[in-house]
Structure 1
Amino acid sequence: MSRLDSPTVVLVHGAFADASSFARVIPELIARGLNVVAPAVPNRSLLGDSAYIASIVRQLPGPVILVGHSYGGAVITVAGMEDNVKALVFLAGYALEEGESLGELQGRFPDSDLASVLVYTPFPIEGSTEAGTDVSVQIDKFPAVFAADVDPGLASVLAVSQRPLAAQAFAEKAPAAAWKTKPSWGLVATADRTINPDVERYGYERAGMTTVDVHSSHLVMLAHPERVADLIVDAVRATAH
C-alpha cells in the first residue's frame, strides 16, 4: 500500500499524557506506508475535546482510522461520528455508550490503583470567577501505576510532563457512540493499574469489537509498539476498499 493510497491514522492520546506517548508507534506506522497525525488533545472536556478532534478529522483528505488511548477512547467514541472515519481502534481505553459518562462506566467496577494517587489542582477559567479542577497523578507514583513496563528513565520524564485532565471531563455524557456504526477494534492491557482491565473489556464486548489482550501496563503504545501497530494495520486492511 503506497502512502498516497493509504488512509490517515489519527492518534488521540489520553489523560496525563500527550502525543509523545505514541513516539514508538508512529515510526512503525510510517514504515508501513501509512499517513499519521497525532494532535494535542486539550484535555479540558469530553464534548470540547471531541469537537476539536472532529474538526481535525474533517479537514483530512480521504479515509481516517481513529485511534484512542485511555481517555482518548472516550474522545474517539464521539469524534468518530465524522463521515470519513472508517474504523476505530481503542487502546486500553474507554468505549462509552451513548448517554454514558466516564464516571458511570468506571463506577461499574472496582477502582484501579489510580484512584488513590490522583492530585486535584485548581486552575483559572477565562471569563469565569470560578476555578476549574485539574486532575493529575502523583509524580512519584506515576511510573508504577501508569508505566510499569516502560523504561524507568522515560517513565520519570513522563511523570513530570503530564498533561492533566479537567475534572469536568469525567461527568460529561457522550452524545453519540461511533462504534455503533463503525467497525471497531479494542486492546485490553491486562496488567493495567490505571484503568481496571475489566472496564476496558466490558466496553469492548458491549460494542461487539474485535478484541485482543496484551500483558502490558497502561502505556501499551510505549511498552509494546509493534503489537499496537499490528492492531492498527488490521483495522486499515479490514476497511480498505
Structure 2
Amino acid sequence: MSVEALFDNYYERATIPVRNTKFGREQRGAFDIRHVVEDDEFRQLNHKIVLKDGIASSVWREQDWGLGENSLDVTHFESGVVKHLSLRHAGEAVTGLKVSLTRDDWLMPDPDHRLPYIFGRADMETWYRASEFKMGLNRVRLAWDYETKHTFPVRDHGVSRDRAEHLYKGVEYRIEVDDSIRLTIDGKAPRKVQWRTELTGNEVRTLFQYASEESWIEGWEPIAAIIEQR
C-alpha cells in the first residue's frame, strides 16, 4: 500500500462519528495538510499529515503520555526513504530522542487504528539519552521486523559492538560505531549513513524548536545539519 493510501485510510477512519476526533483539512500553496486530534481516556494524539503536490511529504505528531510526559515526532518522506525524529520531553526539557531510518514500502497500517502507519521494518533505529547537559547515544539496532520481531542489536543492555555485519532478508548491513555511526546498506536501495553519537544541549534545543514550530514542514535538512556527521 502506498504512503498516500495509508494517509487516506487513516483520515477516512478519523472522520467516522463514533471516534472521539476533531479533524480538518487545508490547502497551503503546494501543501495539502490534514489535521487530526484524537483524545480518549488514556492519551491524546495530534497529527498533521502533509502531501506536497499530491506526494507524501511529512507527518508531525504530538502525543501526551500523561504525568507531564510528552513527545514530538517528525517524519519526512523522500525518494522512497523515510526518516523519523522523536523527542521525549517534559515541558521544554528534552529527556531523550530517537532517530529512525526506514523505507516507504516497509510502512504498514496500524493494527490499533490510532496512527497513520507503523514501521513494518526499519533499517536502523537509534536512541539518545540526556546526561550532563548533552544527549549521548544509548541504543542502536538494525533490521527491525514487526512481524517476525527480528532485530540485530549493536548497542543495547549487555551489548556493545564497535563493528558488525548483518544480513536479513536480502539486505546487508555493515556498521561501525565510535565517535559516529557509520552504516552501509547493500541490496535493494543501497546507501550510506553517518550519524553523530553525541549532541550538545544547544543542538537538542534547536531540534525541539524545529519540531515545536511549523518549520518542520519545509523538510529534513535542519535535522540533517545536526544529526548527520559531515
| Same structural fold, with TM-score higher than 0.5 when normalized by the shorter chain | no
Whose relative contact order is higher, 1 or 2, with alpha carbons under 8 Å and at least 6 apart? 1
Whose strand fraction is larger, Structure 1's or Structure 2's? Answer: 2
- TM-score of the superposed pair, with normalisation by structure 2: 0.26
- TM-score of the superposed pair, with normalisation by structure 1: 0.25
Whose helix fraction is larger, Structure 1's or Structure 2's? Answer: 1
